[in-house]
Amino acid sequence: MRGRTAVVGVGETEYYKRGQAPDAEFKLALDAIVKACADAGINPKDVDGFASYSNDRSDPSHLAAALGCKELRFANMQWGGGGGGGSGAVANAAAAIHAGLADTVVVFRALAQGQFGRFGQGPRRNTIGGEMAYTVPYGLMSPAQMFAMKVVRFMHDHGVEQAALRAISLACYEHAQHNPRAVMYGRPLDAEKYDASRWIVEPFHLYDCCMENDGAAAMVLVSAERAKDFDHKPCYVLGAVAGSHYRAGASVHNTPDYATSTFKTLAPRLYDMAGVRPADVDVLQSYENFTGGVLMSIVEHGFCAPEECNEFFVKERFVAPGGDLPLNTSGGNLAECYMHGLGLNIEAVRQIRGASTSQVADAEVSMVISGPMVTPVSSCIFGSEATL
């Protein structure tokens, strides 16, 4: 599948604070898809496939009907919650095109939390059965609470200090100050402000946690043969994988390998498929549900050893253009927008195009890590034509 497909169009709605989108979620999805098609220079009626993740509510058949698509040939949902499917949806779209199931596939994600519920709050039911009954009555019920326990154990095992998490947050906010689309544009963060911010759940300060936002994002994928005929520089899919390790889904925190971002088995497969090594990666977008997930994702994708985290995770390394591993150059989920991570994939495409607000010089290999600590997770590597 390496280099056989490419992203030729990207589109985003305006990004809003949660609950503040003026439009219905489905309209946001349509808006992002129409913009992505316009960016690609194609008619939305020629889209013949849709791929999404995390139980997106915008049904492909309804989208195809609303857009007047001539034919629907691929309607795909990557199972699993959180943003774990962001790059998995890219993998599914690329695989479908490569296999001949469809020609023009849109990967999309839309969220309107005013119209629907919030992520970051506990259930409001009176009784609860099954897996959640083992955690909710003990006050463990939000995503931050589900994941903090993994990060505590990882930091304990490897002696990682809080400053490593802080470096991730500071880099994201730094990049958001250059990105007018970012929800946190004009709201800089420094170490003192981070340190003084309240705990959500240790080891996560407020600024270790993603925002919750409304909006939608979409990408158009076509075959590499067709990609050359589009307006923008093609952004080739070098590799994209999704999955998880042995019994990652064991309930009540019983996965045998616990303190992990879930990428240990996947990362080698990604590099094999893409034919690159960590040292080849020019720029990285790594999904921040919480900074601790970024920390473990970067370790498990081979950029540093667990014992090196305190030296490796410093802000300067992660800030474009001077850093040696520019990270979340749009501001990411912490400071640009939490579009369940699809904004990270779009930013990775912008880097290949040379169109980021924090552009890395000569970015040829652009990587995305999606939704750490859930299962399945996913990651992908995009490349310029020079990498083929």
Nearer to another protein, 58 or 255 (CB): 255
Distance in Å, CB of 269 to another protein, minimum: 24
* Binding positions for another protein, 55-74, rule CB under 8 A: none
Q: Which stretch binds another protein (CB under 8 A): 67-75, 246-254, 307-315, 360-368?
A: 246-254
Q: Does 231 bind another protein (CB under 8 A)?
A: no
Q: If binding is defined by CB under 8 A, does position 34 make contact with another protein?
A: no
Q: Would you call 236 helix, strand, or coil by DSSP?
A: strand
Amino acid at 335: A
| 70 vs 156, beta carbon nearer another protein | 156
Encoding tokens for residue 381? 């590597």
Q: Are 354 and 366 in contact (CB under 8 A)?
A: no
Q: To 5 degrees, how large is the angle CA 355–CA 360–CA 361?
A: 95
- Helix boundaries (H) for 41-104: 60-67, 86-99
Encoded amino acid at 177, one letter: Q
Q: Which of 15, 53, 271, 338 is catalytic?
A: 338
Told to check if 117 binds another protein by CB under 8 A, we report no
Q: Under 8 Å CB-to-CB from 218, ≥6 apart: which residues?
A: 10, 11, 12, 29, 32, 33, 35, 36, 106, 107, 108, 109, 342
Which of 75, 181, 185, 258 forms a contact with another protein (CB under 8 A)? 258
What does the angle CA 111 – CA 117 – CA 119 come to, to the nearest 5 degrees?
Answer: 80
| DSSP characters over 334-384 | HHT--STTHHHHHHHHHHHHT--TTPPTT--EEEEEE-TTSSSEEEEEEE-
Q: Is 134 a catalytic residue?
A: no
Q: Is 311 in the site for another protein (CB under 8 A)?
A: no
Q: Which of 354, 347, 359 is nearest to 384 (CA)?
A: 354
Task: Indicate which single residue of 137, 188, 322, 354 sits in contact with another protein (rule: CB under 8 A).
Answer: 137
CA distance 134 to 252: 7
Give the footprint of another protein on residues 199-228 (CB under 8 A): 199-202
Which residue in 173, 207, 271, 287 is the catalytic one?
Answer: 287
Q: Least separation, in Å, of the C-beta of 368 and another protein? A: 28
249 near another protein (CB under 8 A): no
Angle formed at CA 143 by CA 137 and CA 145, multiple of 5 degrees = 55
Q: Is 258 a catalytic residue?
A: no
Q: Smallest distance from the beta carbon of 130 to another protein, in angstroms?
A: 6
Task: Figure out which of the listed residues 62, 70, 247, 277 binds another protein, where binding follows CB under 8 A.
Answer: 247
What's the CA gap between 49 and 107, in Å, rounded? 9
- Binds another protein by CB under 8 A, chosen from 62, 65, 71, 121: 121
Single out the residue of 134, 195, 305, 361 in contact with another protein (rule: CB under 8 A): 134
Site string for another protein, 165-204 (x = CB under 8 A): ---------------------------------xxxxx--
CA distance 16 to 285: 21
If the CB atoms of residues 125 and 196 are measured against another protein, the closer one turns out to be 125
Alpha-carbon distances, residue 309 vs 161, 194, 313, 381, 383 (angstroms) = 8, 19, 6, 23, 27
Give the residue with the Cβ less far from another protein, 250 or 355. 250
Cis? peptide before 278, omega within 30° of 0: no
In this chain, which stretch among 14-22, 64-72, 124-132, 268-276 interacts with another protein, using CB under 8 A? 124-132
Return the number of the residue (252 or 361) whose C-beta is nearest another protein. 252
Interface residues toward another protein, by CB under 8 A: 120-142, 144-145, 148-150, 152-153, 156, 198-202, 247, 250-254, 258-259
Q: Which residue numbers are catalytic?
A: 287, 338
